[in-house]
């Protein structure tokens, strides 16, 4: 009897547990089914811009996100735009949808209405974790206040004062190239090198000195902990992983314990430790002289010194001042924005010069027309072919291939280029809902035949000397190019970048093709477009070209 009762109790317990597990399983299945239904068919049916056409998704989970994210630049957006029109949609991660556009009116609306369109949340989250709350990652009133303070440091007048350190590092780069190529009695001495590696070191040193009077000594081979950590963080961000991919939707994933999070935290600690010393030093310099700081008080010409000076000015409104933490946030932002993009542009400059000896000869002749080894900004701006070359470089190979925006409130945007909807009718506006993602296709705008003529896919600096070019205007802060953006979030250091690129284009080396003839592809890595050798992707970012030292320049 007792055995029977025990067995009965066990049986009842098994039944209860089994029933509970079945109920839990049913609940889990139901939750998964509801989630899938909401993420896919329901979201697609209720999408305000569902009438826009677009490519079919290539993956249930990723949609078409990986199609353009891991492809060579131009391999996804260009055929989509040709097939579906100037504004389209594609399914992205977990059933979300992204709008892609090259319509200049839509682009202008998005760039100028920063109250409705913020930067991508993942971008802001990453920059804040890496650098602190600087101008690169804040929005609305905080962005307006910070940008007002930081932009003064990059005025046309202040940029002129930064030129000497750029020349200093430019000639140091030339010396490094000379040592790599080798010296000899022969007029032409050659060598194949990865120019991107050394250009990146030079631009890091330049932004360090011009940004906050700090020499990383990267060109000298110094492994500075701060720069090493910064590059490691960016490199990890560029490495595809589930955290990196899905943080686009869920930025809090950046806080999941990982090698990436550890490196980002370490980098920020180094940046802020160095930054506190730099800022405190600038303040002491002013306080030691016991002067009443006004906006025209003389101090160092680096950006942080200028920012500290402006922030301490007695005639500055209190609601315009930045906190010490906000000032610290600008240091990492300067490094992040001021190094990666310029190095990428200059690497592609070497590629174009190697492939087009005729362009290189014209550029060298223009540079050799200056009898001063360190011409001032005005003289550089007067070099016509140099200016055309830089225009074409940033048109053809914009370091930033697209600009991503996140809609924070429902709105209706007019189209200047109507597109045919899925219902067969022409659309002259689109409704964009809160939470939607929009990609401004910078590369495709910069290479549009409707703007730059039938040879838009060719590298031709002389197009900028042709009457009637560009054929149409686009939202821009410089050169009718979207490369620097437009509106309140445009690149505030664009004048610095232009001067840096022009100064680094040294005239005592000739670029030639690598005899191995590697295929260099434009790959999207984090937020910039980088050179990667096809078949050697594991070697990372590189630009192999032959340098030939030319004596007598």
Distance from C-alpha of 194 to C-alpha of 544, rounded to nearest angstrom: 4
- Is 407 marked within a binding site? no
In this predicted structure, what is the pLDDT of residue 185?
38
pLDDT at 319: 79
Helices (H), ranges, 289-419: 303-312, 324-355, 357-368, 377-381, 384-396
pLDDT at 235: 73
pLDDT, position 70: 64
Q: What is the pLDDT of residues 278-296, one digit of tens each?
A: 888 888 877 776 555 444 4
Q: pLDDT by residue (tens digit) across 356-400?
A: 999 999 999 999 888 888 888 888 889 999 999 999 999 999 999
Is the C-alpha dihedral spanning 65, 67, 72, 73 positive or negative?
negative
Q: What is the pLDDT of residue 487?
A: 95
143-181: per-residue pLDDT in tens?
A: 999 999 888 888 888 899 899 999 999 999 999 998 888
Give backbone dihedrals phi and psi of 441, rounded to 5 degrees, phi first: -80, 85
Kindly tell me the burial class for residue 538, based on how many C-beta atoms sit within 10 Å of its own C-beta (0-12, 13-18, 19 or more): exposed
Q: How high is the pLDDT of residue 74?
A: 61
Q: Provide the 3-class DSSP secondary structure of residue 550.
A: strand
Helix, strand and coil content of the chain, in percent to the nearest 5, comes to 55, 15, 35
More confident residue, 187 or 348: 348
Residue-level pLDDT at 140: 95
Q: Tell me the per-residue pLDDT of 233-253, one tens digit each, with 9 for 90 and over.
A: 777 776 777 777 888 888 998
Distance CA 23, CA 176 (A): 70
Q: Are 307 and 327 in contact (CB under 8 A)?
A: yes
Alpha carbon 551 to its chain's center: 37
Sequence-separated contacts (24+) of 275-279 with Cβ below 8 Å? 275/212, 275/327, 275/328, 275/331, 275/332, 276/324, 276/328, 278/212, 278/213, 278/214, 278/304, 278/331, 279/304, 279/308, 279/324, 279/327, 279/328
Give the C-alpha separation, 365 to 362, whole Å.
5
- Give pLDDT tens digits for 63-119: 888 776 666 666 678 999 999 999 999 999 888 899 999 999 999 999 999 999 999
Phi, psi of 216 (to 5 degrees): -70, -20
pLDDT value of residue 16: 57
Cα separation, 309 vs 295, whole angstroms: 7
User: Stretch 421-449: mean pLDDT, rounded?
Assistant: 95
Give me 123's structure tokens: 């971008």
What is the rounded distance in angstroms from the CA atom of residue 62 to the CA atom of residue 219?
41
Pairing of the two strands 188-194 and 411-420: unpaired
| d(C-alpha 381, C-alpha 359), whole Å | 18
What domains can you pick out in the chain, each with its CATH number? 47-550 (1.10.630.10)
Distance CA(47)–CA(432), nearest Å, equals 9
């Amino acid at each position: 009897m007792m055995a029977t009762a025990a067995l009965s109790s066990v049986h009842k317990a098994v039944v209860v547990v089994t029933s509970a597990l079945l109920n839990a399983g049913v609940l889990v299945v139901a939750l998964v089914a509801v989630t899938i239904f909401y993420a896919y068919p329901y979201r697609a049916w209720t999408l305000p811009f569902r009438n826009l056409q677009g490519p079919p998704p290539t993956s249930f989970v990723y949609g078409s996100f990986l199609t353009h994210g891991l492809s060579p630049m131009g391999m996804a957006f260009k055929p989509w735009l040709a097939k579906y029109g100037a504004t389209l949609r594609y399914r992205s991660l977990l059933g979300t949808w992204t709008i892609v556009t090259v319509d200049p009116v839509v682009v202008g609306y998005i760039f100028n209405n920063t109250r409705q369109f913020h930067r991508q949340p993942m971008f802001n989250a990453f920059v804040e974790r890496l650098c602190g709350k600087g101008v690169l990652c804040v929005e609305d009133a905080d962005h307006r206040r910070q940008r007002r303070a930081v932009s003064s440091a990059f005025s046309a007048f202040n940029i002129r004062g930064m030129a000497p350190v750029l020349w200093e590092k430019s000639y140091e780069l030339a010396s490094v190239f000379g040592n790599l190529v080798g010296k000899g009695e022969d007029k032409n001495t050659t060598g194949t090198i990865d120019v991107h590696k050394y250009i990146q070191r030079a631009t890091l040193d330049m932004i360090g000195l011009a940004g906050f009077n700090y020499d990383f000594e990267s060109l000298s081979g110094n492994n500075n902990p701060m720069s090493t950590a910064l590059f490691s963080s960016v490199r990890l961000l560029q490495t595809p992983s589930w955290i990196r991919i899905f943080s686009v939707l869920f930025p809090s994933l950046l806080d999941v314990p990982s090698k990436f999070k550890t490196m980002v935290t370490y980098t920020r600690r180094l940046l802020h430790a160095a930054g506190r010393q730099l800022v405190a030093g600038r303040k002491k310099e002013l306080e030691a002289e016991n002067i009443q700081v006004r906006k025209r008080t003389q101090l160092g010409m680096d950006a942080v010194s200028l920012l500290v000076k402006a922030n301490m000015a007695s005639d500055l409104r209190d609601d315009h001042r930045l906190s010490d933490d906000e000032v610290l946030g600008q240091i990492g932002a300067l490094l992040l924005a001021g190094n990666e993009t310029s190095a990428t542009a200059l690497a592609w400059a070497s590629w174009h010069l190697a492939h087009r000896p005729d362009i290189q000869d014209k550029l060298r002749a223009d540079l050799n027309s200056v009898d001063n080894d360190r011409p001032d900004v005005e003289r550089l701006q007067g070099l016509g072919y140099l200016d055309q070359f830089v225009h074409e470089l940033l048109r053809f190979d914009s370091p930033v291939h697209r600009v991503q925006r996140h809609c924070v409130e429902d709105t209706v945007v007019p189209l200047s280029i109507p597109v045919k909807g899925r219902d067969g009718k022409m659309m002259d506006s689109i409704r964009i809902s809160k939470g939607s993602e929009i990609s401004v296709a910078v590369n495709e705008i910069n290479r549009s035949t409707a703007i730059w003529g039938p040879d838009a896919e060719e590298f031709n600096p002389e197009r900028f000397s042709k009457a009637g070019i560009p054929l149409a205007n686009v939202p821009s802060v410089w050169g009718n190019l979207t490369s620097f953006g437009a509106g309140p979030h445009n690149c505030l250091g664009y004048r610095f970048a232009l001067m840096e690129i022009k100064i680094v284009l040294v005239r005592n080396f000739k670029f030639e093709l690598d005899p191995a003839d590697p295929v260099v592809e434009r790959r999207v890595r984090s937020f910039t477009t980088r050179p990667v050798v096809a078949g050697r992707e594991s070697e990372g970012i590189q630009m192999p070209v032959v340098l030939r030292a030319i004596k007598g320049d």
